[in-house]
Amino acid sequence: MLALSIFSLVLVSIYACWTLIVRSSQVGQRATAKVQRQRVAVRTIEEALFCARSFAADLEHYSFVADNGDDAFLSFAANLPQSFPRSGKFGDFNVRRVTFELERAPDGGRQLVMRQYPVLMDIDQDEKDHPLVLARGVEKMKFEFWDARKAEWLDDWSQRNTNSLPPMIKVMLEFGDPDQRYNYSVPHDEVARIVRLPTITVPALWQSSNQPGGGGAGQQQMNTVKP
């Protein structure tokens, strides 16, 4: 009887240790997946900004639009590489309008999504209805723009400088846990990056009517606000 009791205690101890190991592994996997999603989301925004393009002679198609708030978004034209997400869908149309936006997720949380389409075309219904979800559980997205003349960060760039790209952009994302969004004791992760844009808005005087971005006449009108 004593031997059976000791054996039972050993089995319980082994099971408890095994359960602890499994739970620790699950927590570690979730943490790793969360960090990976954050890295991919931030990296995608950075890569798109590195490829930003703007032409003063055709701001109808090459405008830079941003807005902070609950439904924050960032929209601009970019000459994207083939390695950029969903490039295969657009074939040789490398110059596309890219829009990053916070919107409500099907489960009630918030998610960061990306939509894109060629600059001389309208967004298709599939891209509008099924954007690429970069990250779930994104509680906040905010942008700040460097004003070289005032040597300060601005919260609103589009109303003051609609004819130029900012030299630098500070991107801030606040991530929560999608599975713990009602648990306010769970801390949020904040990620911030400063991206220096490698280009400027090309002045109209530098362009001729047959260059990219020049001569907007005859081109299909495109909605440059968020889709």
- Checking if the pLDDT of 154 tops 70, the result is yes
Task: Convert the pLDDT of each residue in 165-206 to its tens digit.
Answer: 899 999 999 988 766 555 555 667 889 999 999 877 776 666
Supply angle C-alpha 217, 208, 62, rounded to 5. Answer: 60
**Would you place residue 128 in the very low, low, confident or very high pLDDT band (cuts 50, 70, 90)?**
very high
DSSP output for 37-92: HHHHHHHHHHHHHHTEE-BGGGHHHH--EEE-STT-EEEEEEE--TTSTTHHHHTT
DSSP H or E segment with residue 156:
none
CB-based burial label for 83 (10 Å; 0-12, 13-18, 19+): exposed
Q: Identify which has the larger pLDDT, 164 or 206.
A: 164
pLDDT of residue 11: 77
State the greatest distance between any 2 C-alpha atoms of the chain, in Å, as a whole number. 97
pLDDT of residue 49: 95
Q: Identify which has the larger pLDDT, 213 or 29.
A: 29
CA distance 147 to 196: 12
Q: Which residue has the tokens 């101890």?
A: 13
DSSP H or E segment with residue 32:
helix 2-50
Q: pTM (2 decimals)?
A: 0.74
